[in-house]
A and B are shown apart, each in its own frame.
Chain A
Amino acid sequence: MHKHNSPFRVLIGKPGLDGHDRGAKFIARALRDDGFEVIYTGIRRTPEEIAAAAIQEDVSAIGLSSLSGAHLRLFPAVVEALRAAGVTDIAVLGGGVIPEEDIRQLKEAGIDEVFTPGTPLEVILEAFRSACRQQRKTHQP
């Protein structure tokens, strides 16, 4: 059996050319302080690079951050890259400056949750916990 206290592993990534990294780092630190093992991949990565890193690191969830307006293209591209590698069980969450009307579209494209500025931190942490618990349940050889 799994030792159920093993920490959850997540990856925080910033796809595209957006250099606003405060939010991503803030979320990464908050997750660490909540007991997660957080792999941070830095700014300016392609969706394919983020997906490949997530697979190698065997994370349960990916958190994407975007403030520059390119989320409708970049977030679904990460989901696509995962699918292309045959991976459908890593949760993808997103956040940043994202208009309300885009959120439905992102969810339809396979992004599990989207969080905009002002969301209470506990809500974000619980979303990661729950996504990781779910993934671990379905993933026991």
Chain B
Amino acid sequence: MRNDLNALLAGLHNHEARSIARAISLVENDHEAAEVILASLDQHHITSSQVLGITGSPGVGKSTLTSTLVRHFRGQGKRVGIVAVDPSSSITGGALLGDRVRMMGHALDPDVVVRSMATRGRLGGLCAAAGAAVRIMAASGCSPVIIETVGVGQSEMDIIRLADLTLMVLAPGMGDEIQAMKAGILEVADLLVVNKTDCLGAETLTMDLEAALRGKKNPWQSRVYKTVATTGQGIDELAIAIDELDAIYRSSGEHDRRRHSSLELETVDWAVELLKPRLLKELQEKIYAAEPRQAARKLLARLCPSITDT
């Protein structure tokens, strides 16, 4: 058992495909080796890597755009990681993970690491292990690491906190602009992309978005990047914009602030996750109060008296 784990850690250290994949599974399945694996990661690589989020409604072209961006980054000699998240069925727990179909052109490239992940009941658009998967890829020398999730409303915007910067992708003919404005997504995304500009309605959509963005104080927030992911049109410009904005965030301290708060929130998530079984067990044994909020306070006062003075 120990030997297997040591072999895995050695493989991870050598950036071997199978070890990276096994490591992500063990973390995702909450295996007891997960902590050792994550603690062994190369922090220097993690800190210096670039983490990009790509989100938007179903079918707008996120996976195709990701694949085209990957080709661009590979041209620059960068090793790239991709975490593609799709929802699990709340009824069966199963999932059909199809983002890879658009990325198979990179399948034989050892420097394109792709992992499809299901949300496994977690809300917010990501799975619980997404952050860990990103760090495992980053530690194996991937930069950028791109996270793709379906995101329509603000309830699915966990990606914003995990990524250093997030691209919101829209496409004509999907009623997207109204959705986006309603959900306040234009405010939270870092870069707006209108994809499928070869299709009817792209011009109108772009103009509507630009009108909605007028008056934003940061210049990049008032721009709409136009792409045709299937042909690569507009990709170079988008990639330059990504790097420029990344540089701005890094020098202004925004980058560090985001990384810090992302780790903080993930830590809180884990604390809650680890506490949950204890809380449920306690509740099975004793009723604290009829009103949940009051019951919660009493429960915490009993289980962790030192933190519940308030």
Q: Count residues on chain B whose CB falls below 8 Å from chain A CBs.
A: 39
Q: Is A130 positioned at the interface, with any CB of B under 8 Å from its CB? A: no
User: Which residues of chain A are near B116, meaning CB under 8 Å?
Assistant: 37, 39, 57
Q: Is A116 positioned at the interface, with any CB of B under 8 Å from its CB? A: no
Contact between chains at B5 and A37 (CB < 8 Å): no
Residues A34 and B96 in contact in the complex (CB < 8 Å), given A1-B31, A55-B18, A58-B21 = no
Contact between chains at B25 and A32 (CB < 8 Å): no
Contact between chains at B115 and A49 (CB < 8 Å): no
CB distance from B257 to the nearest CB of A (A): 33
User: Could you jot down 16 A-B contacts, CB within 8 Å?
Assistant: A7-B88, A9-B25, A28-B96, A29-B96, A32-B92, A38-B94, A38-B95, A45-B104, A49-B104, A52-B107, A56-B17, A56-B115, A57-B116, A85-B18, A87-B18, A141-B33
94-130 of chain A: CB within 8 A of chain B: none
Extra 15 A-B pairs, beta carbons < 8 Å, given A7-B88, A7-B93? A6-B30, A32-B94, A32-B96, A33-B89, A37-B116, A42-B100, A48-B107, A55-B17, A56-B21, A56-B115, A57-B21, A57-B100, A58-B18, A141-B22, A141-B31
Digitize A12-45: 1 where CB-to-B-CB distance is under 8 Å, 0 elsewhere: 0000000000000000110111111111111001
CB distance from A100 to the nearest CB of B (A): 31
105-121 of chain B: CB within 8 A of chain A: 107-108, 113-116, 118, 120
Residues of chain B at the chain A interface (Cβ within 8 Å): 1, 4-5, 7-8, 17-18, 20-22, 24-26, 28-33, 88-89, 92-98, 100-101, 104, 107-108, 113-116, 118, 120
User: Which residues of chain B are near A28, meaning CB under 8 Å?
Assistant: 96
Instruction: Give the distance in Å from the alpha carbon of A52 to the alpha carbon of B105 in the complex.
Output: 12
Residues A40 and B8 in contact in the complex (CB < 8 Å), given A2-B29, A6-B28, A6-B29 = no
Contact between chains at B96 and A38 (CB < 8 Å): yes
Residues A58 and B25 in contact in the complex (CB < 8 Å), given A1-B32, A29-B96, A39-B100 = yes
User: Which residues of chain B are near A141, meaning CB under 8 Å?
Assistant: 1, 4-5, 7-8, 22, 26, 31, 33
Candidate in A28, A56, A140 with the most chain B CB atoms within 10 angstroms = A56
Point out the residue from A41, A49, A56, A87 that lies within 8 Å of B113, measured CB to CB: A56
Contact between chains at B92 and A33 (CB < 8 Å): yes
User: Which residues of chain A are near B28, meaning CB under 8 Å?
Assistant: 6
Contact between chains at B18 and A7 (CB < 8 Å): no
CB distance from B14 to the nearest CB of A (A): 13
CB distance from A9 to the nearest CB of B (A): 8
Contact between chains at A41 and B24 (CB < 8 Å): no
CB distance from A139 to the nearest CB of B (A): 8
Q: Count residues on chain A whose CB falls below 8 Å from chain B CBs.
A: 35
Contact between chains at B97 and A35 (CB < 8 Å): no
Least CB separation from B82: chain A residue: A56
Candidate in A9, A39, A87 with the most chain B CB atoms within 10 angstroms = A39
User: Which residues of chain A are near B22, meaning CB under 8 Å?
Assistant: 58, 141
Contact between chains at A58 and B24 (CB < 8 Å): yes
CB distance from B40 to the nearest CB of A (A): 13
Contact between chains at A56 and B1 (CB < 8 Å): no
Q: Is A3 positioned at the interface, with any CB of B under 8 Å from its CB? A: yes
Instruction: Give the distance in Å from the alpha carbon of A6 to the alpha carbon of B22 in the complex.
Output: 14
CB distance from B148 to the nearest CB of A (A): 14
Contact between chains at B118 and A37 (CB < 8 Å): yes
User: Which residues of chain B are near A52, meaning CB under 8 Å?
Assistant: 17, 107-108
Contact between chains at B92 and A41 (CB < 8 Å): no
User: Which residues of chain B are near A7, meaning CB under 8 Å?
Assistant: 88, 93-95, 118, 120
Least CB separation from B101: chain A residue: A42
Q: Is A53 positioned at the interface, with any CB of B under 8 Å from its CB? A: yes
> Which 10 residue pairs are nearest across A and B when measured between Cβ atoms?
A58-B21, A42-B101, A141-B4, A49-B107, A32-B94, A6-B29, A141-B5, A35-B94, A58-B25, A32-B96
